[in-house]
Amino acid sequence: MSGKVRILVVEDEDALRLALIDALTGEGFEVLEAADGERGLAVALSEGPDVVLLDLMLPGRDGFSVLRAIRQDRLRSAVIVLSARGEEWDRVQGFEVGADDYVVKPFSTRELVGRIRAVLRRMDGGAPGMEHASRVRVGEALVDLAAYSVTKPGQHGDRSQGLSRLELDLLRFFLNHEGETLERGRLLDEVWGHGADPTPRTVDMHVSKLRHKLERDPERPRHILTVHGVGYRFSRPGEGP
């Protein structure tokens, strides 16, 4: 990644927004800001920042709606949701549109910067042995790695869905380690990054989302297999690595 990394802070709470701008500028990032969702989306679309820090409860257009619009526009920005605990968090967990990461308020600057750096490392994505083909078939599903989308046959014809950057990174890792048993801890280290601090539950949550997008029957997966007590193994029967 060349030049300064640009981060857009979308947060209506003035004190928190200013503190974030201060801290991130101090870390050497170039920081853009918006105090409401409408403005946040406009800046995201016009500036294409590397990372968007997105509060959910915003005046006017809320963070969920902003995130959905960002993903529909296929903007490549990574999105880290800044979420409060409680009900809002439950909505985040069930949220399908795809943030790249979440931090729960209150969070420390150190934690946030760790998450940002982990997301940036994944965006660089230049790990050796990385699969470079843009389209990959997983069973009936056709994944377009460049377009962040997956298409699979449904009852009413083909259905395309977006993949979050994290889902895509996880899938790439599976593709590059086909047939290997992958422990949750290793997936956390290699996909989420050492600087981040998610839990093994985070891995399960993202695996579940990937299964719903890729597998014919997500309850009886044929590709992303559970290895009980250990983690997961990715397999494409009959398609080879």
CA-to-CA distance for 54 and 37, rounded, in angstroms? 9
For residue 75 the two structure tokens come to: 């903007």
Beta bridge partners of 9: 33, 53
Tell me how far the alpha carbon of residue 185 is from its chain's centroid: 18
In the bound complex, what is the minimum distance in angstroms from residue 11's beta carbon to Ca ion? 6
Compute the 3-state secondary structure of the chain and give helix, strand, coil in percent, each to the nearest 5: 40, 25, 40
Q: Report residue 76 CA to chain centroid gap.
A: 11
Whichever of 81 and 170 has its CB closer to Ca ion, that residue is 81
Count CA within 13 A, CB hemisphere, residue 228.
0
Spatial distance between the Cα atoms of 203 and 201, rounded to a whole number of angstroms: 5
Nearer to Ca ion, 55 or 167 (CB): 55
* Least distance (Å) between residue 10 CB and Ca ion: 9
Query: Closest distance between Ca ion and the C-beta of residue 77, in Å?
Result: 20
Nearest distance in Å: CB 55, Ca ion:
4
Nearer to Ca ion, 63 or 114 (CB): 63
Q: Which is nearer to Ca ion, 57 or 92 (CB)?
A: 57
CA–CA dist 241, 238 (Å, integer): 9
Question: Can you give the binding site for Ca ion, defined by CB under 5 A?
Answer: 12, 55, 57
**Residue 7 CA, distance from chain mean position:** 16
Residue nearest to Ca ion (CB): 57
How many CA within 13 A on the CB side of residue 118?
A: 25
* Residue (105 or 117) nearer to Ca ion, CB: 105
DSSP-derived 3-state class of residue 36:
coil
User: Nearest 5°: phi and psi at 110?
Assistant: -60, -45
Q: Tell me the closest approach of the beta carbon of residue 35 to Ca ion, in angstroms.
A: 10
Nearer to Ca ion (CB atom), residue 12 or residue 38: 12
